[in-house]
Amino acid sequence: METKAFQAESKKLLDMMIHSIYTHKEIFLRELISNASDAIDKLYFRSLTDDSVGMNKEDFAIRIDTDKDARTITVTDNGIGMTAEELEANLGTIAASGSLGFKTDNELGDDSQIIGQFGVGFYSAFMVAKRVTVYTRAFGAAKGYKWQSEGVEGYTIEETDEAPANGTRIVLELMDDTEEEGYSEFLEQYRIQGLVKRYSDYIRFPIQMEVSHRKLKEGTEDEYEDVISLDTLNSMVPLWRKNRSELTEDDYNSFYQEKFVDYMPPMAYKHVHNEGMPAYDALLYIPAKAPFDYYTREYEKGLQLYSNGVLIMEKCGDLLPDYYSFVRGLVDSEDLSLNISREMLQHDRQLKAISRSIEKTIKSELAQMLKKDRDKYAQFFEAFGTQLKYGVYADYGMHKDDLQDLLLFESSRGDKPVTLAEYVENMPEEQKEIYYASGASRAAIEALPQTETVLAKGYEILYFTAPVDEFAAKQMVSYKDKLFKSVTESALDLSTEEEKKALDEKQEENKDLLGEMSKALEGKVERVVLSSRLKSHPVCLTSEGDLTLEMQQVLNAMPTDKKVQAKVIMEVNPEHPVFAKLTALAGTDKVAKYAKLLFNQALLLEGMPIENPTEFSELICELM
Ligand code: ADP
Ligand code: MG
């Protein structure tokens, strides 16, 4: 018998498979089962239109057998089978299999990942087998054929009477275990059961295997025996293909907890059947709590990706934008072809379209929750809101329009966080801007000297307690044409024309004193001015330009060499007794000391560290 050589491309792929050090060798079973299922599909389809086939849906099955002594795994189907020509064409050349669309000159070695993630087909058997034998008989054919290969050297085809009545039986003789690699594990019943569950659970035909169960011997109380039964290993109908009306919340929740290993039921779920282009089914979940590593680099976003019920990718990151990275779940699409390499999949138009559609769904679900179940939404936002705020800030604010109405902020109005729309609705007629104040906590913000006047005017203030808040606001610039304004911004002026005039005059009168103070604080503040914004406090710090003190603190805490410096203005309350004292001291060397003291006090009120605590405490003692 003559041994035929594989075609060049097949040879290259085979070579790669055999020498693959890839850890996902296990996917060979998924590939063989998928092929068996395809073959059954073809015959089943024919039986629908051709009565002479004489087979019903219940007659079809895929069967797995293992033999520890012979070290073989056998996968048998009663599908359409192959003629001699088909055997030659399908298993002799990769071009016909269409499993991998890559070209001969593709650098496979660098990207062996593709083996794990996409349909690599029949040849993957050679990752675990030293010899593969295929017995097959095309439906209705008299003759059966045997194809055999030990890998790169080539293959043989001959007639046989050992082929199934119709369908294909594939026998893998496993490689010997070496120190580095074990193959015997694939002979274990639990391993096969696990692989079928993991990759092929939703194949539409039963995948059967003889499984031994330890059972109490009848008539005894403590004697056990092994009972062998032919079990179906897969659950066949994917939950997500079922009708929503057939399913209960419990079904969805327990599926989530089992599949995504969470001890808590999800906060929310959504079952999507998208009929249009692209057609896909999806199950989307929002976990009840952020995973412990959620805000770290280790956290990997992504949804499980299925093609027709077969798991292709455990975490497909391309399906979720970063700001929705908390969503867990899966997508199944018939439209996704398997014959694509990883790189092509990333640019795959269908995948992009699915991802866009999923993003829209998530957005509208969140908007719904916000509208219909505010408490739940607040709980959601507590867990994942920071991520949405980062989303506003990221990519130069590209997604802010999509996200701004999903944001919640604490505010001076009460304990419950508010949306931007609510804030704007609550604005008195004459209020032109959206006011915010940043600080470490609610209490710290409420203690800020600058909040007093704004609140006294009856204006609400958004409390930015998370570092990201202010960055997001800066990125948005405005909401519904109202500018975001920090209450610590020096340009913020809520006084009337008359008040302004009076202040200007006072400022002129005290020019020299303020000049002395500015000089004492050179390098720390741009200047010292009088202010009408203060009520009970003697001084406060404000900033000019885009960078506020709080942002300066956040940015400088980051591990970069470049430090930023906000333009700080010290504002003094001319109505405060301290100011009267200062005017009395004008021209003496005490002014500089008071200036430093007041500056440090203002820093403390802002929740900022003071530069030189020793000097500060000495100054206090001295002036006391
Ligand atoms: P793909 O499944 O992507 O086409 P494979 O390498 O998995 O690529 O299989 C190559 C071809 O071999 C299949 O397209 C099919 O025609 C044929 N084939 C493989 N396994 C079987 C089987 N169990 N029954 C019938 N045909 C099969
Ligand atoms: Mg295949």
* CA 339 – ligand 2 centroid, Å: 9
* CA 278 – ligand 1 centroid, Å: 26
**Statement: residue 343 has pLDDT above 60:** no
Tell me: the pLDDT tens digits for 219-277?
888 899 999 999 999 999 889 999 999 999 999 998 999 889 888 999 999 999 999 88
* Any atom of ligand 1 within 6 Å of the Cβ of 16: no
The helix/strand/coil state of 254 is: helix
Q: What is the pLDDT of residue 498?
A: 86
* CA 331 – ligand 1 centroid, Å: 25
| Most informative mutation of 28, 64, 122 for ligand 1 (most atoms within 8 A of CB) | 122
Task: Considering every ligand atom shown, identify the ligand nearest to the alpha carbon of residue 75 and give its number.
Answer: 1
**CB burial of residue 180 (10 Å; 0-12, 13-18, 19+):** exposed
Give the other-Cβ count within 10 Å of 587's Cβ: 10
pTM: 0.73
Q: How far is CA 96 from CA 41, 99, 115, 484, in A?
A: 19, 8, 18, 62
* CA 35 – ligand 1 centroid, Å: 5
Q: What is the pLDDT of residue 554?
A: 81
Ligand 1 atom closest to residue 34's alpha carbon, by position in its atom list = 2
The secondary structure element, H or E, covering residue 2 is none
Contact 269, 253 (CB under 8 A): yes
Nearest alpha carbon, ligand 1 atom 20: 35
Tell me: the pLDDT tens digits for 123-164?
889 989 999 999 999 999 999 999 999 988 789 999 999 999
Tell me: the pLDDT tens digits for 350-396?
888 999 999 999 999 999 999 999 999 999 999 999 999 999 999 98
The helix/strand/coil state of 412 is: coil
The secondary structure element, H or E, covering residue 439 is none
Contact 84, 144 (CB under 8 A): no
Residues 6+ apart with CB under 8 A from 536: 449, 452
**Statement: residue 475 has pLDDT above 70:** yes
**Sheet holding 224-232: strands in order across?**
155-160, 144-149, 129-137, 167-174, 72-77, 62-67, 207-216, 224-232
* Any atom of ligand 1 within 6 Å of the Cβ of 82: yes
**Alpha helix (H) ranges present in 557-589?**
577-585
* Any atom of ligand 1 within 6 Å of the Cβ of 151: no
* CA 90 – ligand 2 centroid, Å: 10
Phi, psi at residue 505, to the nearest 5°? -65, -45
* CA 122 – ligand 2 centroid, Å: 6
Residues 6+ apart with CB under 8 A from 602: 449, 539, 540, 541, 570
Residue 602 tokens read as 């203002």
- % of the chain at pLDDT higher than 90: 58
Q: What is the pLDDT of residue 570?
A: 93
* Any atom of ligand 1 within 6 Å of the Cβ of 122: yes
Predicted confidence band of residue 37 (pLDDT cuts 50, 70, 90): very high
**Statement: residue 341 has pLDDT above 80:** no
**Statement: residue 93 has pLDDT above 70:** no
Q: How far apart are CA 2 and CA 151, in angstroms?
A: 15
**Statement: residue 346 has pLDDT above 60:** no
**Alpha helix (H) ranges present in 104-157?**
113-117
Amino acid (one-letter) located at 264: M
Average pLDDT, rounded, for the chain: 88
* Any atom of ligand 1 within 6 Å of the Cβ of 79: yes
**Domains, the chain, ranges and CATH?**
8-231 (3.30.565.10), 239-372 (3.30.230.80), 398-487 (3.40.50.11260), 495-624 (1.20.120.790)
Nearest alpha carbon, ligand 1 atom 16: 90
* Any atom of ligand 1 within 6 Å of the Cβ of 87: no
Q: How far apart are CA 356 and CA 418, in angstroms?
A: 28
* CA 180 – ligand 2 centroid, Å: 28
Range with the lowest mean pLDDT among 66-80, 203-217, 464-478, 603-617?
A: 603-617
- Nearest Cα neighbor of 400 from 325, 303, 480 is 480
* CA 167 – ligand 2 centroid, Å: 15
The helix/strand/coil state of 14 is: helix
**Alpha helix (H) ranges present in 279-438?**
342-346, 349-372, 374-397, 400-403, 420-425
Tell me: the pLDDT tens digits for 516-570?
999 999 999 999 999 888 888 899 999 888 888 888 888 888 877 788 888 999 9
Q: How far apart are CA 79 and CA 169, in angstroms?
A: 10
Range with the lowest mean pLDDT among 368-377, 419-428, 465-474?
A: 465-474
Nearest alpha carbon, ligand 1 atom 12: 90
Nearest alpha carbon, ligand 1 atom 23: 36
| Most informative mutation of 10, 31, 35, 87 for ligand 1 (most atoms within 8 A of CB) | 35
Q: What is the pLDDT of residue 605?
A: 83
Tell me: the pLDDT tens digits for 608-621?
888 888 988 888 88
Q: What is the pLDDT of residue 176?
A: 95
- Nearest Cα neighbor of 126 from 169, 172, 92, 93 is 172
Q: What is the pLDDT of residue 22?
A: 53
Predicted confidence band of residue 17 (pLDDT cuts 50, 70, 90): low
**Statement: residue 283 has pLDDT above 90:** yes
